[in-house]
Amino acid sequence: MQNSMKIRYTCQRCTNCCRWPGLVRISDQEICAISRFLQCSEYEFIQRFTRLRPQRDGLALQENSDGSCVFLHGKDCRINPVKPEQCAGFPNTWNFPSWRDVCEAVPVLED
Ligand code: SF4
């Protein structure tokens, strides 16, 4: 019999991933959803909260001078209900070597 159990990591809202310097890519659909959530126009959102990616192939969220995300406030994401797929997917859909050293997500077995 084959064992099909998988491990899924449950976020503990430690916000460590929001503090790492790096790109948080956002899609056109996410720009639409986030600007609606913030009750501003897409133009205003783009001007205030985004930057061009280094590869010039789209937009990313701005970061604070310490490298943290512009939407991190204390221990909360200001746009949590509509946060980008990149944020929601970590560490299950993508991660990087040694991510376990900084992320407090708890492993849970799933069928
Ligand atoms: S959008 Fe929210 S979840 Fe994503 S990095 Fe910024 S603060 Fe963190």
What does the pLDDT read at residue 74?
92
Ligand 1, pocket-test mutation among 38, 71, 78, 104, most atoms within 8 A of CB: 71
Predicted confidence (pLDDT) per residue in 47-74, tens digit = 999 999 999 999 999 999 999 999 999 9
Residue 84 is predicted with a pLDDT of 98
Give long-range contacts, CB 8 A cutoff, 24+ apart: 92-100.
Answer: 92/8, 92/9
Q: Which residues does ligand 1 sit against, CB inside 6 Å?
A: 18, 24, 69, 71-72, 77, 79, 83-84, 87
* Burial label, 38 (beta-carbon count in 10 A; 0-12, 13-18, 19+): middle
This prediction has a pTM of 0.88
Instruction: Give the pLDDT confidence score for residue 2 in this predicted structure.
Output: 57
Q: In the predicted model, is pLDDT for residue 92 greater than 80?
A: yes
Q: Does residue 21 have a pLDDT over 90? A: no
